[in-house]
Every structure is written in structure tokens, then in C-alpha cells.
Amino acid sequence: MHHDAILIGAGMSGLAAALRLALFGKDVVVLERHNLWGGLNSFYTKDGHAFDVGLHALTNFVPAGTRGAALTKVLRQLRIRHAELKLGQQRHSELRVPGARLRFSNELDLLTSEIEREFPGQVDGFRRLVSLVESTSLDEEPGAETSGRAVLEDCIGDRRLVDALLLPLFYYGSAREDDVDWTQLTVLFRAIFLEGLSRPEGGIRPLINLLVKRCKRAGADLRLSAGVARILTKDGRARGVELESGEVLTADTILSSAGFVETMELCGEEVAAAHTGPADHGRLSFLEVISVLDTPPAELGFGAATCFYSTREPFRYRRPEGTIDPFSGVLSAPTNFEADRPPAEPLLRATVLANPAPWLAFGEDEYRAAKDEACERALAEVDTLLGPWQSHTTYRDSFTPRTVQRFTGHRAGAIYGSPRKRKDGRTPIDALVLMGTDQGYLGVVGAMMSGIAMANRHVIAPAASSPSSTVEVRA
């Protein structure tokens, strides 16, 4: 069967692209290998507990109607009303490095005043950094990458403050070790510090359900358990796909959210060998421990919605030597967001860097033992920040790079994909386009923006490929 577009993957980028294309009357089919929507950003129920996988916080919070903001553009292009997301804002979050604790909220003034208090000589440098971020324009044109860390260090002279600011920028979206491309940094800085964090009521499920319902209503064909085994190419152009079931579908354009290396591999060994190298492989993955508590974290003295921490100096954001690096991470407490209807159970989620190699190599028994040991080590370090809280744990679950690889197909569980992003979505194969993680917009809102931008640019208005036209094509 022939389609205008085939989309590989029903994560946030695939679902947003599908809805965008279907609203434009395009004949689109989404092929998802799993039996569940959402990809990296999904949900599950275990022993009666409902968990989200990839949502601590929705970045890019702005009030309804805020002009020019990413969230406003995404919602407008998908014809979703802001109120439908029922977003509860963070009360505050925290950055913690040895000897300093900075709160931030969805008002930049709080972070500025906290910097003034903890690092009095650095506030002018911070303001200069904010101006630089605000004056950097976002586009989808490929360009030379600049070290984001170097720009930050140029503005701010105190190493601990640099570490504190880099913590969320790395943890919420850098695929590079110890650095992030400057343009990417500006996207993340806006998303986290200039706009802010919120949580949809009910977590990620209502948002995914909304996208799926709207896609179906607009006429998109969404297929679960429909893994793509091969992308069919002829004369350097993608023509269609063969599913794991053997079924063949063809299309004018194929958009893939599987990742750059993974997508090249679907085109065959020769294509992968010719166009990918070690620099394309993501090296960073994470272990997350989710603790169900009998008491809300705020009542145990932890009032932050998220807390980005490093207990050692300097903060290292690299593949650890052993199974995990417990000395930095993110804590997330869903009950510390404003909500008309708070989450059913108080949770505390702790995410730390993990080395995929041992996790993928372990046998089953070894894997389970290593998981227990790594969770204990990660939480022991959290104790140094929060004091005693673990006695309030009633249930615990965790996932590792192995879980991420198994459920999303991302090699080595590399959540942020390849360090080399392809901003225009182009691949060496004509009519085969990347969207999502390896195109370069990360996170939930970023992935949706990526799906929309690539759908606009390569399917809806391929001739008008200027940056503004890609995100601004109106339905």
C-alpha cells in the first residue's frame, strides 16, 4: 500500500508528526514496534503501581497564549488547547553542588536572587549569559558546533556555579560527555530556566491518550506491534519499508524516530558502514530508581519538584567506569507540582548516569544482583542530601540501559541518542528523514516540536524550507 508518509516510531515525535500530517490531509501511517505508544516517554503498571517512564517534568512551561514560545507553537500546530494539558507548575526546583544550594522556579528572578546570595560576584555574568541565550536564534540549519560549556565559563568565573547551571542542561538533554553544543544549550536553557517546569495532571498517560485519539480522529493509521525490519531503498532514495511480518508498504517520504545509527542500519549493512562511525554512537545512559513512599516527600523535608545534584567537585557527566556514577543525578517528586488532583501515590525518582556496557553483558542473575547493588549505592548518595527517608519506602522499581534498549530500540540505551545531531533532518538517503532525538530537539516538548518541524519541512512544504517556515506553516 502506498502512503504520503510512513513514520517509524510512535514516541512523542512520531505521534506529533502523525497528527500534524493528518490535520493537513496527508495519508500517513505510524509503525511502532511495541504494543504501547510513547517510546522513551511511556508508562506501565506493576504490582498495582502506576509509573511513568520518561517524564519527570514537562519543560517549556508558559502560560496559555504566550506568543512565540515553543509550547504555544506546538499546541497551535496540533490544534490542542493549553487547558487540555492541565499543567501544574513546579513550586520550585533545586540545583545542588558541594557547599551551595540554589532554588529556581518558573520566574527567573528567583534563580537570579539565589545566585546573588550564594555567588555574589557572579550575578552580572549570569545576566550576560541570559542575554546571550535570548539573542541566539533557533534554526534547523546544520552548522558548526560550539562548546556550550566554553561560552558558560566565559560568562561565569566560579566553577561551582558553572557546574550547578550545567546540571539540568546536561541531564535534560545532552548526548555529549561533559559538554553540550551551544545552540542546544540555549534551547535547554530557555526550556528549563526562562520558561519552566510543569507536570500534566495524571502524568504522561493523558497526553499520550490525547495525541493517539486526535491522530485517529484526523485519519492517521497508527499500528502497534508493527516493527520495521528494513527500509527499502533504490537509487539512493527511500521507497518503502518491510515490516517484521514481511508486509511491504511504500511512501513518498519516510520519517524515522529510531535514531540515526539505527535508521541507517535499517537501510542495510552497506549503508550503515558507509555513513556511520564511532562518533555517531551515543555513550550516555541512565539508571533510575523509583521509590513509592508512605508519606509525601514534602512532609519529609523535600519540597523540590526536581533537584539536580552533584555531591562531588567537579561534576562529571560522562560514561562511568563501573555500572553507575552515584555522585550526581536528578531527583523528581511528582507530588511537589501544583495540582487540582495530586498523584495517587507519593513517589521519589532518582536518576543517575549508567555505563551501558556491563548492563548489556550481564546474565539474568548477575543483572538482578547488579541492579540491587547499584540502586543501593545511588540511594545512599541521595541520603547525604535528604537525610533519612528510605524507611518510608513501601515499594521500589528501577530501570537500566538494558531496559531502555529493550523497549525503545535505542542502541546502548542512549536516551539522548547520538552526540551528532542532524538539525535539518536530512540523511544520506533521499526521502528518508530523521525526527525526534537525533534530529536534535529533545525532551517531551522538544520531540513534539521536532516531529512537527520535520513534517512541515519535508512533507507539507518541502519547497519552503526556511527555518521559520518549518515551524510556522499554518494549518
Q: Is 77 in the site for ligand FAD (CB under 6 A)?
A: no
Name the one range near ligand FAD by CB under 6 A: 18-26, 56-64, 85-93, 157-165.
56-64
- SS3 percent helix, strand, coil of the chain, rounded to 5, is 40, 25, 35
Indicate whether 32 belongs to the interface with ligand FAD (CB under 6 A). yes
Residues 10, 14, 15, 21, CA torsion sign: negative
Amino acid at 7: L
CB of 358 or CB of 409, closer to ligand FAD: 409
Query: Considering all CA atoms of the chain, what is the largest pairwise distance in Å, rounded to the nearest integer?
Result: 65
Per CB under 6 A, which region of 3-11, 102-110, 379-387, 419-427 contacts ligand FAD?
Answer: 3-11
| Pairing assessment for the beta strands 347-354 and 285-293 based on DSSP bridges | antiparallel
* Residue 405 is a binding residue for ligand FAD (CB under 6 A): no
Q: Does 334 bind ligand FAD (CB under 6 A)?
A: no
Q: Is 6 exposed, middle or buried (0-12, 13-18, 19+ CB in 10 A)?
A: buried
Integer Cα distance of 244 and 251 in angstroms: 17
Bridging pattern class, strands 228-234 and 93-97: unpaired
- What span, in angstroms and rounded, lies between the C-alpha atoms of 355 and 390? 25
Find the shortest distance in angstroms from Cβ 467 to ligand FAD: 20
Tell the smallest beta-carbon distance from residue 167 to ligand FAD (Å).
Answer: 14
Nearer to ligand FAD, 296 or 409 (CB): 409
343 scored as a contact of ligand FAD (CB under 6 A): no
Hey, what amino acid is at 349? Answer: R
C-beta contacts of 150-156 below 8 A and 24+ residues apart? 151/182, 151/185, 152/185, 155/125, 155/126, 155/128, 155/129, 156/122, 156/125, 156/126, 156/129
| Binding track, positions 213-232, relative to ligand FAD; x by CB under 6 A | --------------xx----
Residue 199 found at the interface with ligand FAD (CB under 6 A): no
Residue type, 141: E
* Binding of residue 9 to ligand FAD (CB under 6 A): yes
- Taking each continuous run of H as one helix and of E as one strand, the counts in the chain are 15, 18
- Judged by beta carbon, residue 389 or residue 416, the one nearer ligand FAD is 416
**Phi, psi angle pair for 376, to nearest 5°:** -60, -45
Q: Among the candidate windows 149-157, 247-255, 365-373, 405-413, which touches ligand FAD by CB under 6 A?
A: 405-413
CB closer to ligand FAD, 60 vs 122: 60
Kindly state whether residue 57 participates in binding ligand FAD, applying the rule CB under 6 A.
yes
- Closest by Cα among 234, 241, 270 to 258: 241
Q: Round to whole Å and give the CA distance between 395 and 49.
A: 9
Binding-site member from 3, 19, 41, 78 for ligand FAD (CB under 6 A): 41
Name the 3-class secondary structure at 365: helix
Least separation in angstroms between residue 406's CB and ligand FAD is 10
Q: Which of 6, 7, 11, 352 binds ligand FAD (CB under 6 A)?
A: 11
CB of 39 to ligand FAD, least distance (A): 2
Q: Looking at 8, 23, 324, 429, which residue binds ligand FAD (CB under 6 A)?
A: 8
- Please tell me the number of Cα atoms within 13 Å of 155 on its side-chain side: 18
* Contact in structure between 265 and 275 (CB atoms under 8 Å): no
Q: Which of 5, 6, 7, 14 binds ligand FAD (CB under 6 A)?
A: 14
CB of 220 to ligand FAD, least distance (A): 15
Contacting residue, 3, 29, 43, 59, with ligand FAD by CB under 6 A: 59
Position among 114, 181, 221, 288 found at the interface with ligand FAD (CB under 6 A): 288
40 touches ligand FAD by CB under 6 A: yes
* Residue the block writes with cell 528572578: 109
Chain contacts with ligand FAD (rule: CB under 6 A): 8-14, 31-34, 39-41, 53-59, 227-228, 257-258, 262, 266, 286, 288, 351, 404, 408-410, 415, 436-437, 442-444, 447
